[in-house]
Amino acid sequence: DNGTSFRSHRYAKALRRLSIKHIRTKPYTPKTNGKAERLVQTALREWAYAKAYETSQQRAADLPLWLHRYNWHRPHGSLQSKPPVSRLGLIKDNLLRLHT
């Protein structure tokens, strides 16, 4: 990201300490950040505003459930109607260890 917090000296120092190279995205270029943007739009539509929550705490409590469904069960058009976890090549007998 190119936000203010990602340009700070503290952030740069943390990246150096972890040997991580910060690759900036070109502003207003959806192709470089398209997957993240798509996730945000889907989250807004299917989780954050999909139903009326009484409180922010209720919405926050629902997020892990939605993320689990999104990654493990929801079919994705770009993955031939498979969920993202299918890309990991996990064997089915890992159910108890990986599917919690």
Beta bridge partners of 82: 76
Average pLDDT of span 55-81: 93
Q: pTM higher than 0.85 for the full model?
A: no
Q: Are 26 and 49 in contact (CB under 8 A)?
A: no
- Between 30-43 and 56-72, two packed helices, what is the crossing angle to 10 degrees? 120
Q: Where is average pLDDT lowest: 3-7, 52-56, 79-83?
A: 3-7
Helix (H) or strand (E) holding 45: none
pLDDT higher than threshold 90 for residue 45? yes
Per-residue DSSP letters for 42-77?
HHIIIIITTS--SSHHHHHHHHHHHHHHHHHTS-BG
Distance CA 28, CA 32 (A): 9
**What mean pLDDT do residues 55-70 have?**
95
Average pLDDT over residues 11-26: 88
Provide the 10 A C-beta neighbour count for residue 25: 13
Task: Please give the structure tokens belonging to residue 46.
Answer: 């299917």
